């Protein structure tokens, strides 16, 4: 019986996996350029970690978590995002005491949300993200945005929309919350049941409501910009000025509040529309937080983070044919001609692999036509041909599959010859 994937999950297969690898490698390289180091946390965490950080009033915690009791009766959750785990780790390991501030880390791995699957939306998806913790300067906020922007440019995106907003400091949000309660209080009878709950737990969440009738009411709601303290306003303007200084275009979008409760000050999202006019939603998103570390039992350190969705990035890059060179490539394809040659062929392949050359070898006695087809499928640069005549002379025929030139090489000289050929190739690459 064939067994299907759980709804909302997907396999990443062959060329696609190579593309993921390429995207992830580039993200890591750019994060490294900007001084971030990797931090890996478990996929399972105590449920309380997310109710405390992502927040009781967020859709993620209310409806989307994969939560279960383990055999020891502990409530465990598959992480719906990776920031909370990173903060827990920073607190548990007291990194703020042993590392210079800001602590700058990146992460990569799967996250799980029980959402309605649709284009660009999965129940298991991969996030790459960074966190910079321990410095209050808006320069730190700007740096994370600039890193994200640089990574998207390096991946080949020609145009990106950066939407940005501020949620102000605690004081700004307190005043804004009062204004929202007053406004929505007058309209609540016409709004959805979720909004009734949000009205009590966190009226800011109402701004994120997707119900069409509610969106109309939200449009006329008070704006955060009218409730910012002077300090919050200044900090936001500093971030915007820094971005402008580095030629990063942005759109201030006052409807942007983000789905997680821990943000304050600047929040942002990166968007991209394909040539065919398709948008998969935000490619990446993040923001500044003030209370996250202290909420998890650490000192009062603020931070800023950003997370990209690998599936969405791959989806739009693939759509617009922005991904190149992800076909399989090997250096050598070793071809035994006849059953006698199988063992020698395998020995030669092992020697080439041992010397660091990507090598594939045929295990069967196949005709020339098939062997060359397979070499082509493997994206091989050279064919190493071994038949009875070659074996007797302890040599191989080495064929350049691009130029079709061929030479004979003694078994004993093969690695030296390979080094020579690939040194010449490397040399060409550099010019």
81 backbone dihedrals φ, ψ, rounded to 5°: -165, 170
Helix (H, G, I), strand (E, B), or coil: what is residue 276? coil
296 backbone dihedrals φ, ψ, rounded to 5°: -100, 15
- The least CB distance from residue 80 to ligand AMP, in Å, is 8
Binding characters for ligand AMP, 341-370, by CB under 6 A (x = yes): ------------------------------
- Per 3-state DSSP, the chain is made up of helix, strand and coil in percentages (nearest 5) of 45, 20, 35
Q: Which member of 151, 307, 371, 409 binds ligand AMP (CB under 6 A)?
A: 307
- The least CB distance from residue 316 to ligand AMP, in Å, is 10
Residue 67: its H or E element: strand 66-69
DSSP E strand stretches across 276-389:
284-289, 303-309, 330-336, 359-361, 380-386
Residue 283 near ligand AMP by CB under 6 A: yes
CB 362 within 8 A of CB 336: yes
CB 371 within 8 A of CB 322: no
How many CA atoms lie less than 13 Å away from 115 in the CB half-sphere?
17
Binding characters for ligand AMP, 61-100, by CB under 6 A (x = yes): --------------------x-------------------
Nearer Cβ to ligand AMP, position 120 or 387?
120
Residue 149 near ligand AMP by CB under 6 A: no
Give, rounded to a whole angstrom, the gap between the first and last alpha carbons of the chain: 55
Nearer Cβ to ligand AMP, position 125 or 372?
125
Residue 145 near ligand AMP by CB under 6 A: no
- The least CB distance from residue 198 to ligand AMP, in Å, is 17
Number of residues near ligand AMP (by CB under 6 A): 18
- The least CB distance from residue 167 to ligand AMP, in Å, is 14
- The least CB distance from residue 122 to ligand AMP, in Å, is 4
- Tokens representing 172 are 């700004």
Nearer Cβ to ligand AMP, position 288 or 312?
312
Q: Which member of 285, 296, 301, 398 binds ligand AMP (CB under 6 A)?
A: 285
- The least CB distance from residue 127 to ligand AMP, in Å, is 5
Nearer Cβ to ligand AMP, position 208 or 344?
208
Nearer Cβ to ligand AMP, position 127 or 359?
127
Site for ligand AMP in 226-265 (CB under 6 A): 259
Bridge partners for 269 per DSSP: 163, 285
> What are the Cα distances from residue 211, in Å, to 73, 104, 207, 216, 305?
37, 38, 11, 9, 29
- The least CB distance from residue 78 to ligand AMP, in Å, is 13
- The least CB distance from residue 8 to ligand AMP, in Å, is 8
Binding characters for ligand AMP, 311-330, by CB under 6 A (x = yes): xx------------------
Which residue sits closest to ligand AMP, CB atoms considered? 309
Residue 287 near ligand AMP by CB under 6 A: no
- The least CB distance from residue 64 to ligand AMP, in Å, is 8
Q: Is the peptide bond before 376 cis (omega within 30 degrees of 0)?
A: no
Helix (H, G, I), strand (E, B), or coil: what is residue 402? coil
CA distance 47 to 252: 34
Nearer Cβ to ligand AMP, position 292 or 349?
292
CB 212 within 8 A of CB 204: no
Sheet of 251-252, strand order: 37-38, 103-112, 124-133, 303-309, 284-289, 263-271, 161-166, 251-252
Helix (H, G, I), strand (E, B), or coil: what is residue 167? coil
Site for ligand AMP in 98-127 (CB under 6 A): 113, 115, 120-122, 125, 127
CA distance 227 to 230: 9
Nearer Cβ to ligand AMP, position 125 or 333?
125
Residue 309 near ligand AMP by CB under 6 A: yes
CA distance 251 to 422: 49
The binding site for ligand AMP (CB under 6 A) comprises: 81, 113, 115, 120-122, 125, 127, 259, 282-285, 307-309, 311-312
């Amino acid at each position: 019986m064939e067994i299907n994937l759980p709804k909302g999950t997907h396999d990443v297969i062959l060329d696609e996996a190579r593309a993921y690898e390429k995207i992830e490698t580039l993200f890591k390289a750019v994060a490294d350029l900007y001084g971030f180091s990797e931090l890996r946390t478990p996929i399972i965490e105590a449920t309380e970690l997310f109710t405390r950080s992502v927040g009781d009033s967020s859709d993620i915690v209310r409806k989307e978590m994969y939560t279960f009791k383990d055999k020891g009766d502990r409530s465990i959750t598959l992480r719906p995002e990776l920031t909370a785990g990173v903060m827990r780790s920073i607190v548990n390991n007291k990194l703020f005491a042993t590392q210079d501030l800001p602590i700058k880390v990146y992460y990569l791995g799967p996250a799980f949300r029980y959402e309605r699957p649709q284009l660009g939306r999965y129940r298991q998806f991969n996030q790459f993200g960074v966190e910079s913790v321990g410095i209050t300067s808006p320069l730190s906020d700007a740096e994370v945005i600039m890193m994200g922007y640089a990574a998207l440019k390096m991946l080949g995106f020609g145009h990106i929309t950066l939407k940005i907003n501020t949620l102000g400091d605690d004081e700004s949000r307190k005043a804004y919350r009062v204004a929202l309660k007053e406004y929505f209080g007058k309209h609540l009878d016409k709004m959805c049941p979720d909004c009734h709950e949000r009205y009590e737990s966190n009226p800011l969440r109402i701004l994120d409501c997707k119900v069409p009738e509610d969106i109309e009411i939200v449009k006329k709601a008070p704006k955060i910009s009218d409730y910012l303290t002077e300090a919050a306003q200044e900090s936001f303007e500093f971030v915007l000025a820094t971005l402008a200084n580095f030629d990063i275009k942005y759109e201030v979008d006052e409807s942007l509040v983000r789905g997680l409760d821990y943000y304050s000050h600047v929040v942002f999202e990166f968007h991209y529309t394909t040539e065919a006019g398709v948008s998969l939603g935000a490619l990446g998103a993040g923001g500044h937080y003030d209370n996250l570390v202290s909420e998890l039992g650490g000192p009062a350190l603020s931070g800023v983070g950003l997370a990209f969705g690998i599936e969405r990035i791959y989806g739009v890059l693939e759509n617009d044919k922005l991904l190149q060179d992800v076909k399989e490539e090997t250096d050598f394809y070793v071809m035994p001609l006849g059953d006698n040659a199988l063992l020698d062929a395998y020995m030669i392949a092992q020697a080439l692999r041992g010397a660091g050359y990507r090598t594939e070898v045929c295990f069967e006695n196949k005709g020339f036509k098939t062997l060359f087809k397979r070499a082509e499928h493997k994206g091989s640069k050279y064919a190493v041909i071994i038949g009875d005549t070659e074996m007797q002379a302890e040599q191989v025929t080495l064929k350049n599959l691009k130029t079709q030139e061929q030479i004979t090489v003694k078994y004993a000289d093969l690695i030296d010859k390979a080094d020579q050929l690939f040194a010449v190739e490397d040399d060409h690459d550099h010019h």
